[in-house]
Amino acid sequence: MLKPLYLFLIFFALASCGERERLENEILTVDVSKNYPEKELILQDFMDVEYIPLETNDEFVTQGKVMAIGTEVIVITNWANDGNLFVFDRKTGKALKKINRKGQGGEEYVGITEVVLDEANKEIFVIAYTGSKILVYDLDGNFKRSFKAAGTDSHVNTFNYDRENLISYVPDNSLENPSNAIPPYYLIFSKQDGSITRKISIPFDAVKSPVARDGEAWAVPAPTAVYQIVPDHTNWVLMETSSDTIYHYLPDANTTIPLIVRTPSIHTMDPPEVFLIPTVFTDRYYFMSLLKAEFNFETGRGFPTSGLMYDKLENSVFIPKTYNGDYTSKREVYMMSRPLDPEFIIGQALQAHELVEAYGKGQLKGELKEIAAKLNEDSNPVIMLIKHKKRNG
């Protein structure tokens, strides 16, 4: 008779094989040079939406940039580099803690580009501009430790991977350090000391990054425009701009599976190249963005983006127009925001003065209407969480 442990291992192996076979059969080809038809969607038809009105007082005045979301708390910053971290209660929006450890000291950060919330260990990870140093605080802002991810001076798109590790992307550094260029890769590393747990690489022939050049001058898009890592339930979507293929990474099997293949090849396109960037992945839809490596050095503007969406049910690609069903008028929802974690896909701030105006015009309904009725123009934003609908079973 097989023992329970053996039965579990057999079941686990079969489940992993089944998941891999399913993903291998879902490889999609996207022609980035093609014109696609538009498709209108109502957000609430395929995602759950939650609204959190943030408490407003003299100490807690925020622009509402959502950095991290947990079961119990949410972490907010301002768009300005003032060093403020606001911790609010996730369920009520009550202001809990204002943290500011900005400075040049060993227990301080010079700026904030990323925040990772680890509620299981009651810790907040703050990543400064270069990504070379991670500061760890408790939920009250008390310093606990700092470390660097081993073997790298910079990394982006950092997520809570599991109880012991973070996952991040180490970008190509050939522009900054051409004499000692390191090929880009994905890094799973310890939350305690930055030691390497695992490296993941995606194959490609030559480095191809979204860079615009004008003589000796060059420009790159903001890190918030390119997502090399996107959470997708229990898996991860990995995108390398030098590769024509976007992959699924299966942690349990420690393997990558091709998910999306772009055409024409990024290596055959004439400038300005168009890059295919994954954004939000739901049970039915793959949301993506097209980023053009084009920049106006006189105006300082460039790298325009546009949206694409693959509908698995219809097996077709569209230009999505996604509207918030809690407005009586068509209010489009931006589906190219940075994903937050496997459950809370997007966190966006709805500004109070805009909600007050929409309420006065009778353009709101449901819970959002009730919330707006209690606001004034100087209130903190209302945070809209867009998350996966609960699966049956």
DSSP character string of 10-42: HHHHHHHHHHHHHHHTT-EEEETTS---EEEEE
Compute the mean pLDDT over every residue in the chain, rounded to the nearest whole number: 90
CA distances from 343 to 238, 280, 325 (A): 17, 11, 21
Q: Rounded distance, CA 230 to CA 159, Å?
A: 9
pLDDT value at position 342? 78
pLDDT value at position 7? 46
DSSP conformation class of 224? G
Is residue 114 predicted with pLDDT exceeding 90? Answer: yes
pLDDT band at 319 (very low <50, low <70, confident <90, very high): very high
Cis peptide before 272 (omega within 30 of 0): yes
CATH number of 27-388: 2.130.10
pLDDT value at position 13? 47
Q: Which of 324, 229, 221 is nearest to 275 (CA)?
A: 221
pLDDT band at 131 (very low <50, low <70, confident <90, very high): low
pLDDT (average), residues 189-210: 95
pLDDT (average), residues 272-280: 96
Element (H, E) at 232: strand 229-232
Question: What would the pLDDT profile of 20-40 be if each residue is shown by its tens digit?
Answer: 555 556 799 999 999 999 999
pLDDT value at position 152? 87
Between 45-54, 148-157, 292-301, 350-359, the lowest mean confidence (pLDDT) is in: 148-157
pLDDT value at position 338? 82
Is residue 3 predicted with pLDDT exceeding 70? Answer: no
Question: What would the pLDDT profile of 85-103 be if each residue is shown by its tens digit?
Answer: 999 999 999 999 999 999 9
pLDDT (average), residues 50-67: 95
pLDDT value at position 124? 98
pLDDT value at position 175? 57
Q: Which of 385, 391, 393 is nearest to 44 (CA)?
A: 385
pLDDT (average), residues 182-206: 94
pLDDT (average), residues 190-212: 94
- 182 C-beta neighbours (distance < 10 Å), count: 14
Cα angle 45-249-194, degrees, rounded to a multiple of 5 = 115
Is residue 8 predicted with pLDDT exceeding 60? Answer: no
Between 48-52, 108-112, 180-184, the lowest mean confidence (pLDDT) is in: 180-184
Q: Rounded distance, CA 340 to CA 342, Å?
A: 7
